[in-house]
Structures are given as structure tokens and as C-alpha cells.
Amino acid sequence: MRIAETVTFGGSGLDRHAQLRRDVTGLAEALARGTILPVWRGKPLLSEDRPVWVPAGHPILAQAEPPVFLGMDEGVPRFAADLSDWSPEAGAAAPEMGLFDQTVQRHPAMAGGEGFGELRGVMALLSQREAELVATAKALLQWHRSHGFCAACGAKSDMVQGGWQRSCPSCAAQHFPRTDPVVIMLVTRGNSVLLGRSPGWPEGMFSLLAGFVEPGETIEAAVRREVQEETGVRCGAVSYLASQPWPFPASLMIGAQTEATSDEIAIDPDELERALWVTREELVQVFAGRHPAIRPSRNGAIAHFILRNWLADRLD
């Protein structure tokens, strides 16, 4: 797919400058002249739907964890720092549970209307570079929060190499950030596409089927297995379309296309609330907001990207 990397969080050409990660002195110098993105419990600091970068030593970073190095952005070193231990003042908006947290938390060190906001709400509005930087920051910081102890011996590990590794001082084990591969499938049969919805999704929202790749499994096998397990539909040949880093919390969405060889649906109720075949004509109504029962997947998600380009015949 020639336009694959135009997907949200797609490649922006960020220079991740991996050699600097091993240079303690160089990292310190880069931090002194670079900027830092504060992130609170997975929510980046935003102002008017744009990430807010602050210099090292800014008061908002007083309770922050050591910053992680993201890369060089047009010569500017970019870092991110986790402020999750900071507690908003009494009476401040508490984070909402569910797929989309609409609350915004304000930090007293920022007086210009900035706030910690849900990335899903702004992801489609960011530039390619902003999106890659914020997605990297969110995924990497979340990994550190959930992998602070050695998986080999249980001792508390240390962040090293600019945040791209954790080292155990007890047993010397080395740990690296993980990304979970997920297949997401455009399943077609003639003029129709197979859509499903999970329990708990916003009313009427449908999307492409998706699932984690299992150990010892190819991408192609995962596509066929997931579709059959969730809907009973069998599929034939599988081809690759595009990929998307998905920092909720840390997945790589692998977009694929396959033609169904059967059309009878028998859903797994543990996985899906409903699945159905939707024609191209119906999908046009869905994206136009005129369908009486179906809402599209969220703008910015790879499912939205693939379906729009399927309608426009741009999957080459």
C-alpha cells in the first residue's frame, strides 16, 4: 500500500539517534538543550490539541521520573518524562474509566490553559512528527511503569540507555521495551466487508476484526484464525496493507486484507457483541454519518484508515 505510512502514528522520518542512548555524557548535554514532554498516567500535556514541550528544570517536572530519550527532531533533542506520581488537587477532574477519558487534569506549574488530555481525542489532529513522538513517549513510559522489576529475579531494575533498556543490578538481566503484534483484518466477500463490535464500545460503533498474534504463528495464520474464532467465517489468501504503532498501551497493528471463502456468521460472544456484512454503499452512509445503526471506528485508528481507502480504491 503506497500510502501506508500516512496512517496516524505512521513514520515521520524521526531520527531516533540510537547511538546517543549509550552515551551518558552526550545524553546529559542533549537534555540540557532539548525539550521534554510531560506525561501523566498515559496522558500527554496538551495545549490547543498540540503537545507541550518544556525545558529541563521546569517546575512541572519536580515530581517526574528520569526522562526518556525519544530522538532528534530537526536537530532538537526530544525527551519525555512520567509525572504519574503527581496527584491533582482535591476537586480536580478524576480520570474516567473506559475507552475514552474526556477529563483534563491541570498542573499548577502551568498557567496557560495546558492540561493532560487523552491522546485518542487529538491523535488525528497531530502532525506526523508530533504523532510519532507522542506515541513513542506514551508507549515507552507505560512500559517503564509496568516493568520496574526484573522478570528473572524480582529485584527492582534500573532505567538505562536513555530509557530504552532496564538493567537488573542483582542478576544482571537486561530487559527491553516490548511491542505486542496485533493483526487487524479487512475481510471482504464480493462487495461487502465484515465488521464487528466488542462489548462496551460506544453505541453503534463497528470496526474491523483484530486479535493478537500468538507464539509460533505467522501473520497470515493469525488473520485466518482470529476471523474464524470470532465469527466462524473462513478466509483464503492474506496480503499485507499497512502497520500502525498503537500506544494503548503498546501494540503494533498489522493491517491485512483477505477474501472470505464463506459468509455465514457465528460469533464468539466472549469476543464480539455482534458482527455483520456491510456493503460498500452502506459504508459510504456510515462515513457520512447517515447510517441509522452503524457508526465508524474512531478517526486516527488504522481500521478507519483502511476502510476509507478501501472505499476510495487506494489499497494498491
DSSP state, 142?
H
What is the grid cell recorded at 285?
452512509
* Nearest alpha carbon to residue 263 among 207, 188, 186, 183: 188
CA distance 150 to 156: 6
Task: Per-residue pLDDT tens, the chain, 316 aa: give them.
Answer: 999 999 999 989 999 999 999 999 999 999 999 999 999 999 999 999 999 999 999 999 999 999 999 999 999 999 999 999 999 976 566 677 667 788 999 999 998 889 999 999 999 999 999 999 999 999 999 999 999 999 999 999 999 999 999 999 999 999 999 999 999 999 999 999 999 999 989 999 999 999 999 999 999 999 999 999 999 999 999 999 999 999 999 999 999 999 999 999 999 999 999 999 999 999 999 999 999 999 999 999 999 999 999 999 999 9
Quick one: cell of 305?
484508515
Distance CA 181, CA 88 (A): 34
Q: What is the pTM of this model?
A: 0.94
Q: Residue 204: helix, strand or coil by DSSP?
A: coil
pLDDT in the model for residue 91: 58
pLDDT one-digit tens code per residue, 102-125? 899 999 999 888 999 999 999 999
**Whole-angstrom Cα distance, residue 162 to residue 141?**
12
Q: What is the pLDDT of residue 90?
A: 64
| Cα 209 from Cα 106, distance rounded (Å) | 37
CB 194 within 8 A of CB 260: yes
Write the DSSP symbol of residue 112.
S
311 close to 280: Cβ distance less than 8 angstroms:
yes
- pLDDT at site 100: 77
Beta bridge partners of 274: 197
Cα 265 off chain centre by: 29
Count of C-beta atoms within a 10 Å radius of residue 191: 12
Spatial distance between the Cα atoms of 51 and 134, rounded to a whole number of angstroms: 8
Q: Is 286 left (phi over 0), alpha (psi -120 to 50) or beta?
A: alpha
Can you list the domains of the chain with their CATH numbers? 4-141 (no CATH), 147-178 (no CATH), 180-311 (3.90.79.10)
**Cross-strand bridge partners of residue 235:** 260
Spatial distance between the Cα atoms of 219 and 228, rounded to a whole number of angstroms: 14
Q: For the chain, where are the alpha helices, taking DSSP H only?
A: 24-33, 128-146, 219-231, 280-287, 302-311
Q: Return the C-alpha cell found at 235.
A: 478466509
Cα(105)–Cα(202) distance, rounded to whole angstroms?
23
CA distance 105 to 131: 21
